[in-house]
Amino acid sequence: MAEMQLNIEIKRYNPEDDDGPHWESYEVPADPLDSALSLLLHVKWHIDGTLSLRKSCAHGICGSDAMQINGENKLACSVLVQDLVDGDGDTITYAPLPSAPVVKDLIIDQSRFFEKYREVKPWLITDGPAPEREREQSPEEHAMIEDATKCIMCGACTHACPSTWADPDYLGPAAMLKAYRYTFDSRDDGAEERLDVVDSPDGLWKCYTIFNCNEACPKDIDITRWLSALKRRAATSQASTKA
């Protein structure tokens, strides 16, 4: 027997039938150690099969099930019921990630998010020919970028950012974190190319250090810290090239 009954409120929207999004409530049995995702799956499997959501691994690796839970962006599989409610009869709200087009229910159209990702050239750029063996990196060099490599591209940060809400073209924390990850990689030579992209009106300078990205990140990446480092790099490299 489940320990408690919770009230689940889900922002539903089917563009083919509905005029606009609306909230629907469900009664769901839950244990404190259930994930927020498992409650949604209970709704889908036992109450209303038309509920649509994205999920794959359900273990915080694939990054499919980022959504707004109790007013904050979270990865549904990585947050526990005990951290969302005080007890029996409490409510948990689920909505799609803010400021993205909704495909259906909790599923957003991610195309814009991934366009921004591609804009920062998230791949290794090198001068000269490939070495015979793998490209080596010391533990110290890797420590510079280790935190940033933990990103699973779930989109919780970018859609938590007020700068993204106000400017849909703003590159956003996820893409610029990726720019940091390659710019500060000791094996990469593409810093200038990438800085050209992020040192722009829709880039770094619209980061107002609001910290919603840090709060939203399911991997606890200190995104703001790395964007600050990228800002310093952009400011100093601009001074050196344009002087």
Partner 1 sequence: MAVDTKERPSAPQQTDASAEQEGRFQSYRIRTGMFAWMMHRLTGVGLVVYLIVHIWGLTALTDPETFNALIAKYHSPIFKVGEFALLVAVAYHAMNGLRLVLIDFLGWSPKQKKLFWTLGGVTAVIIAVGGWPSIYALGEWLLGPGSMPTLFL
Q: How far is the CB of 186 from partner 1 (least distance, A)?
A: 19
C-alpha 65/C-alpha 183 separation (Å) is: 29
Sign of CA dihedral 170, 173, 174, 178: positive
Q: Of 62 and 229, which has the nearer Cβ to partner 1?
A: 229
Q: How far is the CB of 128 from partner 1 (least distance, A)?
A: 32
Q: How far is the CB of 3 from partner 1 (least distance, A)?
A: 26
Q: DSSP state, 182?
A: H
Work out the burial of residue 181: count CB atoms within 10 Å of its CB; fewer than 13 is exposed, 13-18 middle, 19 or more buried. buried
Q: Footprint of partner 1 on this chain (CB under 8 A)?
A: 13, 15, 18-21, 68, 70-72, 96, 98-103, 109, 111, 160, 162, 165-166, 168, 208-212, 214-215, 222, 224-225, 228-229, 231-232
Tokens of 145: 């970028």
Q: How far is the CB of 28 from partner 1 (least distance, A)?
A: 22
Q: Of 41 and 84, which has the nearer Cβ to partner 1?
A: 84
φ and ψ of 42, to 5 deg: -60, -45
Q: Of 71 and 139, which has the nearer Cβ to partner 1?
A: 71
